[in-house]
Amino acid sequence: MNAIISASELASDLAGENPPVLLDVRWQLSLAKSAGAPPFDGHAEYLTGHVPGAVFVDLDRELASAPGAAGRHPLPDLAQFGAAMRRAGVTAGRPVVVYDGGQGWAAARAWWLLRWTGHPDVRVLDGGLPAWQGELSTREPSPPEGDFEPVPASEGLLDADGAAALARTGVLLDARAGERYRGDVEPIDRVGGHIPGAVSAPTTENVGPDGRFLPREELRDRFKALGATDGTAVGVYCGSGVSAAHEALALAVAGIPAALYVGSWSEWSSDPERPVAVGADPQ
């Protein structure tokens, strides 16, 4: 099953006999450390217009736990995550389609969490809301309670030690911008740089100018050039486990399974005992 869906395919599915549950996960990362600018309000954006029937899901409150030693977007409490998904109408027997404002990172986080906790049919709207050509609604729906019970998989999740080991024995991709990987700048976390052995692979290079994913073969070629070949264990991290989920989604589109280090650089860099590499060289 493809991990993404086009806007035309979504319109067709919504008119079908078993329409998908729609989740709107609008969210925006602020790199500014200084106070002053009001925080991004995804729910307010949702209320200005969303795909009809979509339910808003709050990334910070429902797809992550509170920031702390485990990073800025640690795994959510699974009981609370399950309750949020059931509130949104998610059931095991209906497909789910997730979208955001177009960047794809937040939608990918929801996609990854649902897949990792056992939902069999989850896709991300390629290009997000800007790709949708149908009407928009300002009405907030109240879907029937879903029955989804999250059961985490035994694989697909990395901790700090697992990420460090994978950087030595397989391929660990760093999905952040190159300047953060190199340590030229670090607008959020304690220190700049990357996990020793990790390979720079900005997730922005997985999409075209319209925000949609590159064709499958182009993605396969890109990841192959980065060392992610058949039979190689692959992992991904970023700043806080959000844009890395988008890279994991790109890898899934390319047919390459990958594990996600959810704590990512925000967890890794918070411990001064962990080694930090700087510059363009993985080591």
Query: Of residues 54, 110, 238, 256, which has the active-site annotation?
Result: 238
Per the annotation, the verdict on 144 as an active-site residue is: no
Burial class (CB in 10 A: 0-12, 13-18, 19+), 277: middle
Residue type at position 99: Y
Please give the full DSSP string across 155-170, using - where no structure is assigned.
SSEE-HHHHHHHHHHS
Alpha helices (runs of H) in the chain, residue ranges in sequence order: 7-14, 42-47, 59-62, 78-87, 105-116, 160-169, 178-182, 216-225, 243-253, 264-268
What is the distance between the alpha carbons of residues 190 and 106, in angstroms, rounded to a whole number? Answer: 23
Q: Are 58 and 80 in contact (CB under 8 A)?
A: no
Point out the residues that are catalytic: 238
